[in-house]
């Protein structure tokens, strides 16, 4: 049974860990965003540890975004209507870019890995800067390439 209250809604950074389990038990939640800005177990996060209360049962999430959440045992994720669900652990690293993390909070690879590879930027976590950089690596690299191309075009015209 589709859950009208929680389907096709935006719950970004909303704490649902203390709702009445009856609101979601034995239902399918379709197309909603439950993403958190930082992983829920990251130090200092203001949100509940689990997406829903630990005792919910038979909850199906279909085409939802549950990034940076931990799911109670009674929750299952499925994909339908041609769209995959997402359940990742993501954090902005010191290069200003979102990186996938392992369960211990260590960076694994950039979320937008293809852009890094296309621009020739290292995807090795060991190459992350030690201190927070102003701006974002990918944006800055694109700017640098564009500026070099413009300078080359100007010099070519001389």
Partner 1 sequence: MAISTTAVWEMRNGGDNTNGGFYRSDAGTTDYSQQDTAQLSLTDLASDGAGTGISSATGGFTAAMVGNGFRIESTGTFTAGWYEITAYTDTNNVTIDRSAGATKSGGAGKVGGAVALPTDALLETFSPGNTLWVEAGTYTFTGSVALSKSGAQNNHIRIIGYNTTRGDDPVGTDAPLFAFGAYSFTSGFYWDLHHLRATGTGTFLFKVYNGCIITDLDGETTSGASTSAPINMAGAALLLRCYSKSASGCGVYATAAYGVAQDCYFYDSARGGYTTQFAVTFNSCVADSCTTGFEVGNVCRVTNSTIYNATTGIKSGAANFGQYFFDNIFDTCTLGIEATGANYRLLSGNNFYNCTTRVSAAYLEEGYGFTTDDPAFTNAPGGDLSTGASMQRVHTFGGSPSTSTDRVGAVQSGNGGGGGLPSVFSHRPH
What DSSP line would sit under 41-59, residue for residue? TSTT--S-SSSS-TT--SE
* Residue 67 near residue 36, CB atoms below 8 Å: yes
List strand residue ranges (DSSP E) for 63-128, in order. Answer: 75-78, 90-92, 98-101, 107-110
Whether 65 and 86 have beta carbons less than 8 Å apart is answered as yes
Q: Which of 1, 43, 124, 134 binds partner 1 (CB under 8 A)?
A: 134
**Per CB under 8 A, 71 contacts partner 1:** no
Rounded to the nearest angstrom, the gap between the alpha carbon of residue 131 and the centroid of all alpha carbons in its chain is 22
Closest CB to partner 1 among residues 56, 93: 93
Q: Does 82 bind partner 1 (CB under 8 A)?
A: yes
**Helix/strand number for the chain, H first, E second:** 2, 6
Q: 28, 47, 48, 67: which one contacts partner 1 (CB under 8 A)?
A: 67
Instruction: Report the nearest approach of partner 1 to the CB of residue 140 (Å).
Output: 8
Q: Is 93 in the site for partner 1 (CB under 8 A)?
A: no
Residues that bind partner 1 (CB under 8 A): 8-10, 12-13, 31-33, 35-37, 63-65, 67-68, 80-86, 88, 90, 92, 96-98, 111-112, 114-115, 134-136, 139, 142-143, 146
């Amino acid at each position: 049974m589709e859950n009208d209250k929680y389907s096709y809604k935006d719950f970004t950074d909303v704490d649902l860990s203390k709702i009445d389990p009856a609101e979601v038990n034995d239902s399918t939640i379709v197309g909603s965003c439950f993403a958190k800005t930082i992983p829920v177990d990251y130090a200092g996060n203001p949100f509940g540890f689990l997406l829903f209360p630990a005792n919910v049962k038979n909850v199906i999430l279909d085409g939802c975004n549950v990034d940076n959440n931990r799911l109670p045992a009674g929750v299952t994720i499925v994909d339908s209507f041609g769209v995959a669900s997402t359940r990742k652990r993501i954090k902005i690293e010191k290069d200003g870019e979102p990186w996938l993390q392992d369960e211990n909070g260590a960076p694994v690879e950039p979320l937008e890995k293809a852009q890094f590879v296309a621009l020739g930027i290292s995807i090795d976590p060991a190459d992350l800067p030690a201190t927070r950089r102003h701006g974002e690596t990918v944006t800055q690299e694109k700017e640098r390439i564009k500026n070099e191309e413009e300078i080359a075009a100007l010099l070519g015209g001389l």
